[in-house]
Structure 1
Amino acid sequence: MTGQEKPDRLRVLVVEDEYFIADDISRALIRHGAEVVGPVPTVQEARALLDTQALDLAVLDINLRSELVYPLVAELSRRGVPMVFATGYDAAAIPADYEAIPAWSKPFDYNALADVLPGLRRT
């Protein structure tokens, strides 16, 4: 890069069932130069996007109206997509299989969340 070129925009999947939280996360990501895929409120809708969208990262709520996001986590892991949990769950409530995934507890600073996501990008 010459220093004047912009890096590719991060394509971030947002999976969150609370509209206002999904909107806040999306707006923070867009302000930080990301391209938001979604947001979507269910695992099924997120899976449909996986078939049609290239992703760099994913921001996932754990509990989507009583549906846990872990089957989607497994699929994203198989595809090599880094992710972060954005959840009201305490870190101790996250199963050991997923403890390596960064978790941000709600309420959180949306801009701080957006700032750390580029560091998670797969190379």
Structure 2
Amino acid sequence: MLGRRVLIVEDDPFITLALEETLTEFGLIVAGSARSVPQAIRLAQTVAFDVALLDVNIGQDRIDPVADIISARRIPFVFTTGCGRAGLPEAYLQRAIVEKPFYVEEILRTLREQLASDETH
């Protein structure tokens, strides 16, 4: 995963910071971080990245429009949520999910799996 670029969409600044630090430690490049859906939409449309971590609920907003953009770009993504699979956007119920609170190993394994499956398609 060295050098792979990740987009992070997370409204909790502490989780964002922890993810940025951890992913960087493991050789990933943080292509961008968003704490709101409008900001995430801009980044999803304009930034180059290989995989994304998407919190399902960003404040009062849902991540659906961001997931739609990333999906249309054919870039893999992983949902993070405390609500379980039932909280995922309807169109993406089969997507990878990491439930909060999560462990670093879990995030890294899931990102690795998404990047590997993307390379085989």
Q: Calculate the TM-score normalised by the size of structure 2.
A: 0.87
CA distance in 2, matches of 1:103, 1:36: 19
1:30 to 2, 24, 28: 24
1:73 to 67, 74, 77: 67
CA distance in 2, matches of 1:53, 1:8: 18
Structure 1, residues 1-47: CA drift from partner, whole Å, max 9, x if none?
Answer: xxxxxx76111000000000111111221111100122210121122
- Higher helix proportion: 2
Deviating above 4 A after TM superposition, structure 1's stretches of 4 or more consecutive aligned residues are none
Paired residue secondary structure (2:91): helix
Paired residue secondary structure (1:55): coil
Paired residue secondary structure (2:101): coil
Q: State the Cα RMSD in Å.
A: 1.6
Q: Which blocks of at least 5 consecutive residues in structure 1 are unaligned?
A: 1-6
Work out whether residues 28 and 114 of structure 1, in 8 Å CA contact, stay in contact via their aligned partners in 2: no
- Give aligned pairs, total: 117
Work out whether residues 30 and 36 of structure 1, in 8 Å CA contact, stay in contact via their aligned partners in 2: yes
Q: Which blocks of at least 5 consecutive residues in structure 2 are unaligned?
A: none
Q: Counterpart of 1:67 in structure 2: which amino acid?
A: D
Farther-moved stretch of structure 1 (39-48 vs 79-88): 39-48
CA distance in 1, matches of 2:21, 2:8: 11
Map 1:46-57 to 2 at 5 A: 46-57=40-51
Q: Calculate the TM-score normalised by the size of structure 1.
A: 0.85
Q: Are 2:46 and 1:59 aligned? A: no
CA distance in 2, matches of 1:11, 1:100: 23
Aligned to 1:87: 81
